Structure 1
Amino acid sequence: MAALTRSAPSEQERLSYEMGLHNEQLKGRSIQKFFDINLDEAHHGFLLPDAFDVDFNKRAEIDASNMPAKEVNLRIRELMADGYGTIVIKNPGAKHSLAVGILNRLNLIIDGSLGYFGCGLIDGPNVRISGRVGWSCAENMMSGTILIEKNAGSQFGAAIRGGDLVCKGDVGSRTGIDMKGGNIIVGGNTGAFTGFMMQRGRMVICGNAGKNLGDSMYDGTIYIAGEPQSLGVDAVWGEVTDLDRKWLENKLRMYDVMPKGGIGAFRKIVAGKQLWNYDNLEPTEKKMVL
């Protein structure tokens, strides 16, 4: 039997791969709940099978001032079940774990600030937050968009897998820790260990970064317009291509977070790939890498 051969990638494919646009499947257990591809064309087949059919022109408000977080989250689900596609949360009061587990198309407007773990485990909604957010905002986000007008706490976008997560202000340390896909955009500065153990996706930092940027990153791309205090283990400078610049121009203008220096101010950080076989190294070799 003839051996299977694979043609060499084109220059466009190579540049796309370097930007983080990968098409191979990640290994591991399969997610058993898939999109329903049999839905009509109006829904484009990109909804979960039990998603609610909502109308963005149908609007409701929730006054969360005297409601616990669990009750607010249940009310969001009830309104989606009734077909409301635009929901405004008033007086969130920096409560923890608000607007979590939304697996649906939805325009969600949060008029105020969130506490810890806001908007976690979401898959599909478009969220706009007028205030600040605490630790671990958008943890395990799968798809959709989140736009935060002010600042964010540490572990912003932890383990994010898809969608656009945008903070116009500053964020804390460990932004994008264990990032597995999607895009994180920071309009200001970010703290230490940003991009720690990054596996996929793209991160854009319009300001400066703390120590150990991209530490132990396995793959993915970080763009920074300012200065990092230092690069982490196995994070190296890469070449910014025209494809990178076009993507940055589109994304940053979309969310109005262009830095003063423009697209030309950005530099690129990628994985040096010296840790890819880390577990196979001898103890003395590990010391040399670290």
Structure 2
Amino acid sequence: MAELKVSGQHRSYQMGMHKETLAGRTYRTFFTAQETDRLAYSWSCDVDLEKRRVIDAQELTAQEVNRQIKDLMGKGFGHIVVQNPNAQHSLGTCILNRLKLEFEGSLGYFGVGLIDGPNVRIRGRVGWSCAENMMAGVVVVEKNAGSCFGAAIRGGDLVCLGDVGSRTGINMKGGTILVKGRTGMLSGFMMQRGRMIILGDADENLGDSMYDGVIYVGGEIKSLGIDAVLGEMTELEAQWLAAKLKRYGMEAPNGVEKLQKIVAGKQLWNYDNLEPTEKKIVL
């Protein structure tokens, strides 16, 4: 188990992530994970990323495909290729393990949701709610994605090399969503943390009711949602954006410095200072 290293000089302070002046207790703790640490679930499989196996899903149900993926991980296979996924729903879900997973085709609704750790490549399109509740790992979609892309994700990188539908990153709690093309309406709705990078245009009500987090847009914004306001780009942010985009072979249309930054106006922040037990006493 890694030792927690608490530091008041964490880089997130320089990036303006802790400017709120809320009173009371805090649960913020920072730690540094070392390569030698095994930060994994007790039931995780030891897999060899060089050990490859192909699954032909042409005649299989989604449940059968997912079962074969988990069985192969149990046998040490760390590189699994799924052919002919045929846009079935809920493929590649609930993988809490290191794994290189490739889909040679499109996925339906709820593809690769509830994952923690795998590196996924989808050579096609995805339907609604791709990678919802993703905890960690990388998911790259080579074509377009449906609505609710990255709903409620908490960590990792979720990348779409095409356009995405409405409500991208709804209730997002962490991680990074990168979209090379456009995004639909209400993207970033009730966003709580994390970063969203949209290199194309953004439809109406962007960032509506967002509590925290940052949205960067390279194209035109049709309209901002309630309590979403423009912010100022810092040099540290520009460096981070350039490095993140370069990792996935992407470039901001006019340079990262020209990206529009959207943050919460914090007018909707209505926190109750009383604890539940204190409320009972007062009421």
Following superposition, the deviation at residue 256 of structure 1 comes to 1.1
> CA–CA distance in 2 between the matches of 1:130 and 1:58?
21
Amino acid at match of 2:14: L
Q: TM-score, normalised by structure 2?
A: 0.86
Taking the aligned partners of 1:279 and 1:232, their CA distance within structure 2 comes to 24
Counterpart among 57, 65, 71 of residue 58 in structure 2: 65
Q: Distance in 1 between matches of 2:182 and 2:167?
A: 12
Residue in structure 2 matched with residue 17 of structure 1 by the alignment: 16
Q: 5 Å matches for 1:24-39?
A: 25=27
User: Given the alignment of the two structures, is residue 216 of structure 1 paired with residue 181 of structure 2, yes or no?
Assistant: no
Query: Where do 5+ consecutive residues of structure 2 fail to align?
Result: 1-7, 20-25, 274-283
TM-aligned CA distance change 1:66 to 1:43, over 3 Å: farther
Partner of 1:54: 47
In structure 2, what residue type is equivalent to 1:170? Answer: D
Distance (Å, rounded) in 1 between the aligned partners of 2:159 and 2:81: 19
Q: Does 1:97 align with 2:90?
A: yes
Matching residue of 1:204: 197
The alpha-carbon deviation at position 267 of structure 1 amounts to 1.4
Contact 1:19 1:221 in 2 (8 A): no
2:161 aligned to which of 168, 182, 185: 168
Instruction: Report the alpha carbon displacement of residue 18 of structure 1 after superposing the two structures with TM.
Output: 3.4
Once the two structures are TM-superposed, the CA of residue 257 in structure 1 deviates from its matched residue by 1.8
**Percent of pairs identical after alignment?**
59
Cα distance change on mapping 1:43 and 1:75 into 2, 3 Å? farther
- Residue 205 of structure 1 aligns with an amino acid whose one-letter code is I
What's 2:69 paired with?
76
May I ask how many residue pairs the two structures share in their alignment? 256
Alignment of 1:134-213 (within 5 A): 134-213=127-206
Query: Are the counterparts in 1 of residues 233 and 257 from structure 2 also a CA contact under 8 Å?
Result: no
Distance 2:230 2:133 in 1: 27
Look up the match of 2:281.
none
Aligned equivalents of 1:241 and 1:103: distance in 2? Answer: 35
1:86 equivalent in alignment to 2:85: no
Q: Which moved more, 1:203-212 or 1:258-267?
A: 258-267
Q: Distance in 1 between matches of 2:18 and 2:101?
A: 30
1:240-251 correspondence to structure 2 within 5 Å: 240-251=233-244
SS in 1 for 2:55: strand
Structure 1 length-normalised TM: 0.84
Work out whether residues 15 and 234 of structure 2, in 8 Å CA contact, stay in contact via their aligned partners in 1: no
**Cα deviations by residue, 1:104-158 (Å, 9 ceiling, x for unpaired):** 0000011110000000000000000110000000000000000111100000000
Task: For 2:257, give the aligned amino acid.
Answer: G
Amino acid at match of 2:99: L
- 1:178 Cα deviation after fit: 0.2
Cα distance in structure 1, aligned partners of 2:35 and 2:271: 47
Give how far 1:265 is off. 2.6
Q: Report which stretch shifted further, 163-172 or 259-268.
A: 259-268
Assess if the C-alpha contact under 8 Å between 1:209 and 1:226 holds in 2. yes
Q: 1:43 offset after TM fit, Å? A: 5.7
